[in-house]
Amino acid sequence: MDLSSISLVTLIVSLMGASTPILLAALGELVVEKSGVLNLGVEGMMIIGAVCGFIAAVTTGSPWLGFLFGALCGAAVSMIFAVLTQYLMANQVATGLGLTMFGLGLAALLGHSYSGINPPEFFKISIPVLSDLPVVGRILFNHDPMIYISLGMVVAVWYFLRRTRGGLVLRAVGENHDAAHALGYKVIRIRMMAIGFGGACAGLGGAYLSLVRVPQWTEGMTAGAGWIALAIVVFASWKPLRIILGAYLFGGVTVLQLNLQAAGLSISPAYLSMTPYLVTIIVLVVMSADKARASLNAPASLGKLFHATT
């Protein structure tokens, strides 16, 4: 094994790209869970965003339209979950799992004729002088726009939740939907908007996966990224800024195992490929060990059905 072939700078740059789809999906799910809704259909919304964004980008020749269409399709699919759970009072866990299976099946059908096609190339932002700086230039000033947008979205969500009235209302609904309803807030409407935002973020993450990260359409290409995004929300203790740490940690593990395979590590590639998921399980076990802390940070009404009695 030749570890000298692994460049730390290249590893960090690759890490940021690999983490972006998970970061976007986890950010959207955090907002959904802050409203008191548990949506396990992140994987399904991501794969729909991936195939729809890919189809739109190939058809129009514009990656930006691909991202937009991927986000819109992710939001549209999330509305199926929203209607079933908020109006028809369906079980959130079962409906989320159903949404994932529905999304995987529909994406396979839609993308069947798009395998082997290359999408239009997405450009990188190269800032004069700054991008030429040694080490720092490549790490901070030489990425595609979606990486910067994803980080900006995290800051925007943090500001919304912590510094605005709308964020306070959203958190109030997630903590005690009955009290929020008694104060006159439209609980179902607020949760519908949160679910739509979460679906758009998951779709955007999926579109990034098929347009930039891979870039191509392959059936099942999300490969569990949606489930890792769900784990990151718990890892981050439902705090937006910690989402970055969680996403970059899991993205780093993914990139590292790929580099170790390329360096010729004498371990079966199957064991290395399962590393990100193994780390996910370990982190969840560690986080759930302190039940008092976990229950303190989690929204009190998370996963509970709301029925307006008045």
pLDDT-derived band at 210, boundaries 50, 70, 90? very high
pLDDT tens figures, 37-53: 999 999 999 999 999 99
Residue found under tokens 């705090």: 239
Calculate what percentage of the chain has a pLDDT beyond 70. Answer: 89
For the chain, the average pLDDT equals 88
Note whether residue 306 is domain-resident.
Answer: no
Per DSSP, the three-state class of 254 is: helix
Query: Under a CB-based contact definition with an 8 Å cutoff, are residues 101 and 234 in contact?
Result: no
pLDDT at position 202:
97
DSSP string, 112-130: GGGTTPPPPPPP-EE-TTG
Domain range for 53: 3-297
pLDDT at position 151:
95
Note whether residue 111 is domain-resident.
Answer: yes
Note whether residue 310 is domain-resident.
Answer: no
pLDDT tens figures, 68-126: 999 999 999 999 999 999 999 999 999 999 999 999 999 999 998 998 899 999 988 87
Q: What global pTM score does this model have?
A: 0.91
Note whether residue 302 is domain-resident.
Answer: no
Half-sphere exposure of 18 (CA within 13 A, CB side): 22
CATH of residue 237: 1.10.3470
Total number of domains constituting the chain: 1
Note whether residue 239 is domain-resident.
Answer: yes
pLDDT-derived band at 264, boundaries 50, 70, 90? low
pLDDT-derived band at 7, boundaries 50, 70, 90? confident
C-alpha distances out from residue 198 to 184, 221, 229, 231, 288, Å: 24, 20, 12, 15, 24
Note whether residue 91 is domain-resident.
Answer: yes
Note whether residue 167 is domain-resident.
Answer: yes
pLDDT tens figures, 171-193: 999 999 999 999 999 999 999 99
Note whether residue 207 is domain-resident.
Answer: yes
More confident residue, 228 or 136: 228
